[in-house]
């Protein structure tokens, strides 16, 4: 081996690289043979660092994408229309100083249908654009198989297709979702057809369905197409309305029963047999101090009892008889004997909660109870609200009977859900919906304005008279102030045009109070629609049936429900305390509470 070969061999050896040689050799560059290849698989250090850094950066990017995706899927922004059930619970807890409610507010307490709820699978809405396309396709498929000169046959598929296409275009921006159509029927005049359909409003969270039927005037277009020349107003197609049902009496077979909404089933559930009654487990609340209190307190207390029944996995025994507080009556006096079904949807309550009616329950209890022996129905009486639901969880008695015999506020139902129980009992807000009979009135009022109107909520009443708590309210809601403010406020809405429909929800008793607004708007007030609850109305017939033939007055709380719900459906909304006045909703110095 030559000296040069020996030198190259020594420099490439591990020993040479590890020792570093003499001090002078440490600073000499390594020499490699020009003919020898580099070691296989060896990667420079700089390249390894760059690769590691790129892997870390990519991992962080993937992690960030996952986090953003999870947040986007799970985050639900606050509803700009209504509050959540948690917000309602918080707001109500603020008005419980010394465990009692303040004077009832003029605003309506939201119920379960105002909160977010998932849509049932069977009620999936149809997209208006898809409906229009489907309708257009239906028209085209009949081309070449029709006689343009023949009389119009309302059962022709082209009629329904033309109606679907028209509705999809006319109601596209009016929050209406069409769910199903019925076969068109003939109208009195040739060339007219009456068509009925079911729909819902996107601004309702309950997915409750409503019915409309209108009269359409059609004519032949190009080829086999049909043109819609004229459309009637809300529920103008009376031939498509359901015919009244006949009474089952053989003596008067021709006497027709009052027209009813066939989709309302608020019959009282009954216990089928003694064995079924003994097998059941019940929670019975004796009437307490909540009776004849404000509707807000009634709902708050009722949902406490219903929540405890769900926690204990028991059937709640409820009294359909209600007492309407004088705060909600025209004469200012408490009115007993009101039916729960006048104000709330009993059918929905039955579907979401296990309930029985108190009267039938007590009859069955007396009939089937054996005072002695093994067949006796076991009862546990709970004398005070201080016995918590957690202490009753393992009780095996057929009936848990809560007594509320004490003095107010010790005898309020909602006391059961206070203290430690508040962390356990969840009030089932989803179980309480407003009466569908009242909501049908709401739908008809909005439908008569073609779902295209603005709304203003003008709160006056006792608040406007109380200058100490509301120093500016009376002046800020005067006729001159409203005529000056409202046009400017509503012009901020891009859909504003002159002489639009304006619905005014108010507790102002004088009908002509808003006459100065009529030069700017087509003004609508609740009293403009009195025929919807008159003695010839569907609502009157149905409530009279519930009351056993006794006429039911359209009381102040019913007015609040209808007034507020029509306002909620307006395109642009102006609130009293948010827009019209700088006063605080709950009085002076309460705006930040």
Instruction: Give the C-alpha separation, 184 to 305, whole Å.
Output: 47
- Helices 436-448 and 556-568, axial angle in degrees (round to 10): 50
Q: What is the mean pLDDT of residues 368-385?
A: 85
- Which residue has tokens 């509320």? 404
* Domain boundaries of the chain, sorted by first residue: 121-240, 264-431, 435-580
- Given 3-state DSSP classes, what are the helix, strand and coil percentages for the chain, each rounded to the nearest 5? 40, 15, 45
DSSP three-state, residue 168: helix
Instruction: Give the C-alpha separation, 344 to 356, whole Å.
Output: 16
Give the residue, 102 or 296, on which the prediction is more confident. Answer: 296
Q: In this predicted model, what pLDDT tens digit does every residue of 165-222 receive, in sequence order?
A: 999 888 877 778 899 999 999 999 999 999 999 988 887 777 778 888 999 999 988 7
CA-wise closest residue to 359 among 329, 317, 325, 401:
317
Instruction: Give the C-alpha separation, 422 to 94, whole Å.
Output: 14
Q: Which residues pair with 228 in a beta bridge?
A: 218
Instruction: Give the C-alpha separation, 181 to 135, whole Å.
Output: 12
Topology adopted by domain 435-580: Rossmann fold (3.40.50)
Give this prediction's pTM: 0.71
Give the residue, 251 or 447, on which the prediction is more confident. Answer: 447
CA-wise closest residue to 206 among 169, 177, 171, 173:
177
CA-wise closest residue to 399 among 358, 351, 340:
358
Give the residue, 385 or 16, on which the prediction is more confident. Answer: 385
pLDDT given at position 415: 96
Q: Tell how far CA 59 is from the center of its chain.
A: 43
Q: Which residues pair with 460 in a beta bridge?
A: none
Q: Do residues 360 and 366 make contact, with C-beta atoms less than 8 angstroms apart? A: no
pLDDT given at position 369: 86
Instruction: Give the C-alpha separation, 340 to 318, whole Å.
Output: 10
Does residue 454 surpass a pLDDT of 60? yes
CA angle 321, 328, 79 (to 5 degrees): 95
pLDDT given at position 33: 44
When mean pLDDT is compared across 206-220, 413-427, 519-533, the lowest value belongs to 206-220
Residue 122 gets which letter from DSSP?
Answer: G
Instruction: Give the C-alpha separation, 530 to 105, whole Å.
Output: 24
Q: Do residues 154 and 185 make contact, with C-beta atoms less than 8 angstroms apart? A: yes
Tell me the chain's radius of gyration from C-alpha atoms. Answer: 36
pLDDT given at position 474: 96
Q: What is the mean pLDDT of residues 398-412?
A: 94
Q: Do residues 400 and 382 make contact, with C-beta atoms less than 8 angstroms apart? A: yes
Instruction: Give the C-alpha separation, 349 to 309, whole Å.
Output: 13
pLDDT given at position 262: 63
């Amino acid at each position: 081996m030559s000296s040069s070969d020996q030198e190259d061999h020594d420099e490439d050896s591990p020993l040479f690289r590890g020792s570093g040689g003499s001090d002078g050799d440490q600073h000499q560059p390594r020499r490699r043979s020009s003919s020898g290849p580099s070691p296989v698989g060896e990667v420079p250090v700089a390249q390894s660092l760059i690769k590691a850094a790129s892997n870390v950066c990519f991992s962080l990017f993937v992690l960030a994408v996952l986090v953003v995706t999870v947040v986007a899927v799970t985050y639900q922004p606050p509803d700009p229309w209504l509050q959540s059930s948690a917000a309602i619970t918080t707001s109500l807890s603020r008005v419980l100083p010394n465990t009692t409610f303040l004077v009832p507010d003029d605003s309506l307490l939201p119920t379960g249908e105002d909160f977010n709820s998932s849509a049932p699978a069977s009620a999936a809405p149809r997209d208006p654009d898809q409906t229009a396309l489907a309708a257009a396709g239906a028209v085209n498929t009949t081309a070449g198989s029709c006689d343009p000169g023949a009389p119009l046959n309302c059962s022709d598929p082209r009629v329904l297709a033309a109606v679907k296409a028209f509705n999809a275009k006319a109601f596209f921006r009016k929050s209406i979702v069409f769910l199903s159509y019925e076969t068109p029927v003939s109208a009195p005049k040739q060339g007219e057809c009456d068509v009925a359909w079911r729909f819902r409003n996107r601004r309702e969270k309950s997915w409750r369905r409503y019915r409309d039927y209108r009269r359409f005037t059609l004519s032949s277009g190009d080829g086999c197409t049909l043109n819609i020349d004229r459309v009637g107003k809300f529920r103008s197609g009376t031939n498509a309305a359901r015919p009244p049902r006949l009474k089952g009496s053989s003596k008067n077979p021709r006497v027709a029963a009052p027209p009813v909404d066939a989709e309302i089933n608020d019959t009282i559930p009954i216990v089928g047999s003694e064995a079924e009654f003994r097998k059941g487990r019940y929670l019975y609340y004796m009437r307490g101090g909540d009776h004849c209190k404000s509707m807000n307190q009634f709902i708050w207390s009722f949902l406490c009892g219903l929540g405890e029944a769900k926690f204990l996995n028991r059937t709640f025994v409820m009294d359909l008889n209600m007492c309407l507080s004088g705060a909600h009556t025209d004469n200012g006096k408490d009115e007993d004997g009101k039916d729960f079904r006048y104000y709330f949807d009993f059918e929905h309550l039955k579907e979401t909660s296990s309930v029985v009616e108190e009267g039938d329950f007590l009859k069955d209890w007396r009939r089937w109870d054996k005072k002695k022996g093994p067949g006796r129905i076991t009862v546990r009486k709970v004398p005070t609200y201080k016995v918590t639901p957690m202490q009753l969880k393992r009780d095996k008695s057929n009936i848990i009977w809560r007594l509320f015999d004490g003095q107010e506020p010790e005898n309020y139902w909602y006391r059961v859900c206070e203290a430690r129980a508040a962390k356990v009992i969840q009030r089932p807000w989803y179980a309480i919906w407003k009466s569908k009979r009242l909501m049908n009135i709401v739908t008809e009022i909005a439908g008569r304005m073609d779902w295209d109107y603005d709304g203003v909520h003008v709160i006056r009443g006792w608040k406007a008279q109380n200058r100490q708590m509301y120093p500016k309210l009376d002046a800020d809601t005067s006729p001159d102030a409203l005529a000056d403010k409202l046009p400017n406020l509503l012009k901020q809405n891009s859909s504003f045009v002159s002489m639009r429909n304006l619905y005014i929800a108010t507790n102002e008793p004088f009908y002509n109070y808003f006459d100065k607004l009529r030069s700017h708007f087509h003004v609508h007030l609740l009293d403009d629609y009195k025929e919807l609850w008159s003695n010839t109305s569907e609502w009157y017939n149905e409530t009279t049936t519930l009351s056993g033939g006794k006429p039911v007055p359209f009381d102040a709380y019913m007015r609040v429900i209808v007034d507020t719900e029509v306002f909620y459906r307006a395109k642009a909304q102006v609130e009293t305390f948010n827009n019209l006045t700088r006063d605080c909703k709950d009085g002076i110095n309460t705006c930040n509470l």
